[in-house]
Structure 1
Amino acid sequence: MQVLAVGISRSGTDSLREALHILRVNHTHYGFDTILPPSSLEAIYKLLQKKYTTAIKTGATKKLTAEDFDTVLLNSVGVSDLFAAEFAPELIEAYPNAKVILNVRHDLDEWQSSV
């Protein structure tokens, strides 16, 4: 994993993905990859369960590893959009050598309107 773009959706995540492709960071996992193929939804659901189910029961989260994320990210060398935002701290810990980009929208009202 080379790049973790951990900003939320509608903060330039698709433009950032395109820029990463121009810079030869191929393949960057993006929101569309979350639903295509549908089987990745099951893998994401399992990651969410691992992250939150333990926290609800014990107050502590289970550590997610690169191996856990690789079930969803497969051959991606970058990740952007909602998946990256949801798992930002865990991704940063799992891939310590990756560059981290936090993309933001400065105008929250404009961001809300874009959603």
Structure 2
Amino acid sequence: MRTLIATEGVEIAMDQRALVVRLQTPFAEYCADDATARDVILAGLSWPTDTPAGYWQRLAVDWIEQGAAVDIEMAEFLEVIATMVKLPQKLRHKARAIVRRRQSEEQAFQP
């Protein structure tokens, strides 16, 4: 499966499988070489949900919980994950909590 990743205005065709396997390493140990942490997380969040127990989505959520920043595109994927009943409840709750935390942080910064 190939996906287009936009990095600094340039779209790069990357193999999504090559990105998601990087999620098996802790976020703090990830060293961006040809893909940003954002690219890797988006690859995991957007992985087809027919994988057992949402494995790649869970690892992407773990990276976010380990300190990766969440942008609007990630939040949109997290909102979808939070509503997919075929994914584990624990994963759905984590995704929902991240979205809520992001929303409350955005509201706190609005004048």
* TM-score range normalised by the length of the shorter chain: 0.3 to 0.5
The structure with the greater share of residues assigned to helix is 2
Q: Which has the higher contact order (CA 8 A, sep 6+)?
A: 1
What is the TM-score of this pair, normalised by structure 2?
A: 0.33
The TM-score normalised by the length of structure 1 is 0.32
